[in-house]
Structure formats: C-alpha cells, structure tokens
Amino acid sequence: MELIIVATLFVIVITLIYIYLKRAYSPSPGDLPGVKPHIFFGNLINSGIWTGESAFHQVLLDYQHHFGDKFQYWLGSHRCLVFCRIEHAQTIFADRYTFDNSPLNNSNFDLFCPNSLLLLTGAKWKRHMRILLPMLKLAKIIGHLETIVQCADRFIDQNLHSGQIHRDLLSCCESLTMNVIGFVAFGCDFDIHANSQIKKAVHDFESYVRWLSPLPWIFRWLGKIYLKYNWKYQRASRLFHGLAQKLVEEEQNKQSEMENEPPKNLIAALVSSLNEEANDEQVSSGLTSAEIFDEILTMILFGYEGMPPALLWFIFFASKNPQVQQKMKEELREHHLLMTNNLKCVPPLTANNLSSLTYCECVIKEVLRLAPVIEYTIRIATCDTIVDDVKIHRGQNVFIPLHNINTDARYWHHADPQQFVPERFLAEDKNHHPLAMIPFGGGHRACVGEKLAWLQLKTIIVRMMQRGLN
C-alpha cells in the first residue's frame, strides 16, 4: 500500500513539474516574436548554437531578419528580450539605475572568479573600479608603448617569416597578448610560448570557463562537483594561485623598499589597496587578497582570449585585401615610418606618430566593426520599465546584439556594411552615430580594459605593417 502511495505521489509531482515547465516555456499573448524554445535548453539547440552549426552573432542576425528589431531568444532556461536598434541601446545604456549587469553576461563565471569585476554590481563594483580604472586609463598605459612594441617585435621575429605557412597563429597571438599583459599590468615577463606552463594552465582554465558558461543554471551544482574533482582544472588553479601570490609578494617587497611611491601599473595599485577588512560600506576601503587574486586571474584571461581574435581577423582581412596593406604602407612611408632593412634608421613609434596614422586607424576600426571584441551585451532590469512599447518586468534579461548594429545598413551608408571597407571612415560614415560601433560594449559596464586593448591592437598592427610584412 505504501509503495502505491509513493508511486502515485511521484507521478503527480512529475506531472505538476511538467505542466509548470510547459507553461513557463509557452508563449503568452504579449510576448515578442521568436522561435519556440525547448525545455531547459531554450533556443540553444534549435538555433544550432549548442551543436556548433551556427555562430551566435549569425543566429541573432537571422532572428532579426525574420522577426524584426525586437524579438525574444531563450538562452537555456532564461528568456531574453533582444533589441537591435541604436535607439534601444541608447535608452538601455543611459539608464544605469534601471539596467544593470546581468549574471548571464558571464554565466557561471562565479564558479571560477566570484570576486571578478565582470560579475560585480552596486557598491562592490564601485569599490573595485576605484582601484582598477585609474591604472587602465590611456594616460597611464601610453607610458608602456615601448614595451608593447618590443613584445610585437618578439612576436614577429619568432612567428612571422616571409614565405612561411602559418598553421597555429591563434596560439601565437594568445602568447603575444598575454606577454603584453604581463609587462604592462604586472611588470613581469611571463615569457609565454606554446609549451609554457602558464600558457597550458590558462588554456585549460579557459576551456572549462567556455564549457560551463552556456549551461543552464540548473546544472550549477554539477559544475561545482566537476571542478572540485577535476585534476586538470585543480592543477591549473594551483598554478594561478601560485603565480598571483608570487606577483603580490614581489610587489610588496618593492613597495617596502620604496615607500610613498605612486602605483605605476595594475599590480602596484592592487597591492597598495590590500585590506583584508575591505567592505562595501566604504567605497575606498580597498580589496581583500581573494579579490586581488580574482582580478589578476581575470586580467590574464582577458589577455588570453580578448585581443587574439581581433588580431587574427586583421591578418585575415589584410590577406584578402592587399590594396589595404598597400595603402597602410604608403601612409607609413609618408610619415617616414616604413622600415626596409635597417630597423634603427626609422623613428620609434610614439603616441604622436601613432595618432597621425589616419588610414591605419580606419583599418583597425573596420576590423573591430566586423569582428567586435564583445559581440553582444546583456543587462538585467532592476525594476519594471518600458522600452519601445515593450513591457520589461523586474528581473528580465535584455540583449543588445552589437554585431547587428555594427553591420546595419540603416547606420552605414558609404558601402555594403557587410564588406570590409576601411575607407568608409574617411567618407560619409566618418561621423557615424557613436553607438553604431561599440566593439567593447557601452554604458557604465563597457570593457574596463578598452584603452589598453585599443593601444595594444593598433601598435601591433602598425608594427607588422611598419616592418613590411605581407
């Protein structure tokens, strides 16, 4: 008898759960258009994201083509409202109190770096920004220009040779950008190469981040167990902790020898802010050691996966458009910056001559327009509101597909916005809308390392052209 009762209750519970999930995923009369989602997986399967058949930015472009500028996309178990016009982005970015950072921006990243700036909101976010932002402003990082040039030269000498067939440029670009981060942010030569321990650890760490990030939150407890007993991940984590501890201790020794010295790089600012009693009630109370570690790890991961794709896209576009390479070299020749056989007879790259390279700047803008560092951004509504006659309830996620806006013909007029045409920034698209191209995100949650990324990308690309590489 008891067995029958238990079995009956089990069936009832399963039925109720099924009915609840069915209702939760069923469209309502006021919903935006979209593709019917699967339970738990949303549109990840039927859009081809989960199977790898489609890139996410292409899916959002296809949805916009079918459903218009406003539609819904289910990211796993989360229904997201997608807005594709500049006016939408302007409204959402401008209202920082109604739209804040969504957990979906870096889903499950708190399993790895719970104290990272990428995840924080409110007073804690402000406390971290107070430490990080001053060191990542252009006025600070421009002093590292010579170091970036040296890293670029090492990258070129080791990897780019005339007539060479490049089969693993992504790995080489990852090593380059991580080395730049090592020097600029931490004053340390990571000496990253393909088989280095740090490179392997970062690769392993980043692969787990990518694997766990798109999973619906119902699997979070599985993720915690998986990471806890995964020896490969634990080995990478131990190496990172050791590296972070070493960086902190070395900086503490420097600061003990030179008292009252203003911070010159990110690690100096982080160590100067060390305060195990730090709290959100006092914005200027500093960071704890756990918070410092997570910020160090985030910066290294950014160096690993942030800029290498953009650098690879430049190499791709330049190889497909030799006339663009020629124009870049002609501009360098006009400014007496094009090298031939003797590197020493050319003036060094400076902030002034970099800023004078107008066409090179246009090429970099066009690369980032078609291959933005951040393809989309997500905000969460902190209260009920309305955007373009769409009711948004508190707790709902709002998507802004930046790639859609970057390639929208309504905002780009010189040439087909799907084509690589750097000259557009010298013609009628020169004064494009500020939000028509925001490759690093927008609003108060834009990428904090934008200035460093931009300087790094421009310097490396100019250096490659300066040395006459094809």
Binding residues for heme: 447
**Residue 191 Ramachandran class (φ > 0 left, ψ -120 to 50 alpha, else beta):** left
Q: Which amino acid is at 191?
A: D
Residues 368, 372, 374, 380, CA torsion sign: positive
Binding-site residue ranges: 447
d(CA 142, CA 146): 9
CA 238 from chain centre, in angstroms, equals 24
CA distances from 298 to 90, 132, 206, 225, 269 (A): 28, 12, 10, 22, 15
**Residue 378 Ramachandran class (φ > 0 left, ψ -120 to 50 alpha, else beta):** beta
**Phi–psi pair at 348, nearest 5 degrees:** -70, 155
Q: Are 282 and 429 within 8 A, CB to CB? A: no
Q: Are 375 and 401 within 8 A, CB to CB? A: yes
d(CA 241, CA 237): 6
Which two three-digit tokens encode residue 32?
A: 């935006």
Going by C-alpha positions, the residue among 461, 465, 453 that lies closest to residue 180 is 453
* Count of other CB atoms within 10 angstroms of residue 251: 22
d(CA 54, CA 52): 6
**Phi–psi pair at 381, nearest 5 degrees:** -75, 125
